[in-house]
Chain A
């Protein structure tokens, strides 16, 4: 027996579900879940003694009680209160981890792409489940991943066939309805992008209510030869929320992958973004922006694994830390011995605007090849007072000058976003968040 509340609760809930499965118990997919729950039972949630979790303590989280199967009565008009931008695209709503078709808009589904929820895929025995699901992100990796593999409530499986370009973005809106109680959602996505296919996809997280929400999210992305993927993760949860998420990306020859991870708000956030560059001439970009305030904690861990020669990886994460907030950036770059002519760049820049905020940055480069270009840098600084005085001397009040400077700092990340409405919306959200500067 494990000594935390969450693990005990989830394992006994799993048994209950299994007892009600009857004939479905022997399904291949269910067997994989049984293996995952076994792994989950044998693993412990990380503690601060684990090197990878040194600065991110989940003790409170795993000893809190969450309802992992709550019903939500969220309506269209509730959604309107969010004032979300009018994004054109395939918009799928998940509330408390469960797909809500009545809120979603999949009318643009033009038949070329295959999109289904995890629950549908399980019922239909979708072949993606056997071909790709769990192939890139292994259950045994850690307790959160095992938990996700065993217990995911829902999520989507998308397949973009070879040579198909999907113009409209796919937007996953993940809402935790925490108006009544602590809510836990376990979300699992799989995105398979075929040869020379192209897609833009966004995961947007948002709390609705004052109680604590916990999201355990995992997304696997397979990017085929010559394929192009833009991937966004936007987080805007409440101050008492928890998010632990992993995005695992597999890249084949000549593919292109761009990601932006933008954390506007959240009590405790841990994002793992892992890229496996298993091909040549791959171009990959990882951008990040985090703006914690109050006592928020935001931790980004990234891994780029250069397995083959001639690929490029580029990474820029930026943080603005206010109040008593804390941030973590850990960026690993592996360049295998055969991965000659690799170009790998990593940069993490932070501005700390409060004496009580702090940032831990750790670049980790492990390079076994000799003919490579790699660079990394981290900076953590304060506001530029000279620049602020300069702006004031032109009539711009100090608070506005600070905001202008920080917006400019953030724009290196935000301006990269290629979905126009999303970019404009995020610019607005960044401004709103910066208004909270004291």
Chain B
């Protein structure tokens, strides 16, 4: 589904991604872990199409298309969804209105007619139950004055509404209380299917107890320096990153 090859990205002459290789097949869940500042959010943003970064080398193929050629909205319409680490407040636009606009734009891209109001409401009811999000919240300006946890829950709600092919969750677990973590994870698990994949960026093994990944990768200094299965997350929880950093730094010194 997604094939990232030798991806390099920089901002203001600072190289942040330094050769990422990652392949994700349909239905798989890949967790990405790694120390602060290692480039996890950058990778997520680059996949979603943020223009602040300059891609200096490498390629990304998504469902047979050159992803890097597409505008962010085209990527979304093709099935990429990024749940932001820091969701943005949009004053004056309600979540409901925002999602209706988004959904219809995606439909337009695909050559479909706009969704009718009744149908939209029905889907909204259904999906808001999935993540137990309050109706009142959805009538407010998007993310404006939402608590940290409410913002994260709203991200997953949006994902449920837009039904992407690849969901990228950037630290969706941070800021969630224990109950919310379970609810959000349940929501994600219900969206798991044979043709939908996820990239789950997290610092905590706990989330991976709920959303069990097929693979775990460690990102360090803009590269994936270690990959494994869910046991790797347990090992990291126990030992921290120092041993991986040491290994990676030694390898880089040799190169």
Contacts and interface: CB of A to CB of B under 8 A. Distances in A.
B72 interface: yes
Contact of B105 (A400, A405, A407): A400
B188 to A, nearest CB: 18
Contact of A390 (B90, B91, B99): B90
Interface string A410-423: 01100000000000
Given A395-B76, A408-B93, 14 more contacts: A389-B50, A390-B90, A392-B49, A392-B71, A393-B48, A393-B76, A394-B162, A395-B109, A395-B162, A397-B105, A398-B71, A404-B101, A408-B141, A409-B91
A387 interface: yes
Contacts of A398: 71-73
A124 interface: no
B71 A396 contact: no
A386 interface: yes
Which 10 pairs show the lowest CB-CB distances between chains A and B?
A: A408-B92, A395-B76, A392-B72, A394-B102, A395-B106, A390-B88, A392-B73, A397-B73, A395-B102, A395-B105
A404 B97 CA distance: 10
Contacts of B105: 395-397, 400
Contacts of A386: 88
A164 interface: no
Interface of A: 384, 386-387, 389-398, 400-401, 404-405, 407-409, 411-412
B9 interface: no
B71 A390 contact: no
A391 B109 contact: no
Nearest to B90: A387
A404 B90 CA distance: 10
17 contacts: A384-B88, A387-B89, A392-B71, A392-B73, A393-B73, A393-B81, A393-B82, A394-B73, A394-B99, A394-B162, A395-B77, A396-B101, A397-B71, A400-B105, A404-B98, A407-B92, A408-B92
Nearest to A397: B73
A391 B98 contact: yes
Contacts of B88: 384, 386-387, 389-390
Interface string B51-67: 10000000000000000
A400 B49 CA distance: 17
B230 to A, nearest CB: 28
A392 B105 CA distance: 10
A230 to B, nearest CB: 23
A400 B93 CA distance: 13
B49 A393 contact: yes
Nearest to B45: A389
B35 interface: no
Nearest to B94: A408
B92 A390 contact: no
A413 to B, nearest CB: 11
Contact of A408 (B76, B82, B90, B103): B90
Contacts of A404: 93, 98, 101
Contacts of A397: 71, 73, 105
Contacts of B72: 389, 392-393, 398
- Most A CB within 10 A of own CB, among B81, B93, B109: B93
A429 to B, nearest CB: 18
A407 B91 CA distance: 10
A394 B87 contact: no
Contacts of B73: 392-398, 401
B223 to A, nearest CB: 25
A392 B90 contact: no
A379 to B, nearest CB: 13
Contacts of A401: 73
A412 B71 contact: no
Nearest to B77: A395
Interface string B26-56: 0000000000000000000000111100000
Nearest to B103: A395
Contacts of B101: 396, 400, 404
A394 B159 CA distance: 9
Interface in B165-179: none
Contacts of A412: 92
B84 interface: yes
A423 to B, nearest CB: 15
A392 B76 contact: yes
B158 interface: yes
Contacts of B71: 392, 397-398
A395 B101 CA distance: 9
A393 B98 CA distance: 12
Which has the most chain B C-beta neighbours within 10 Å: A390, A394, A396, A407? A394
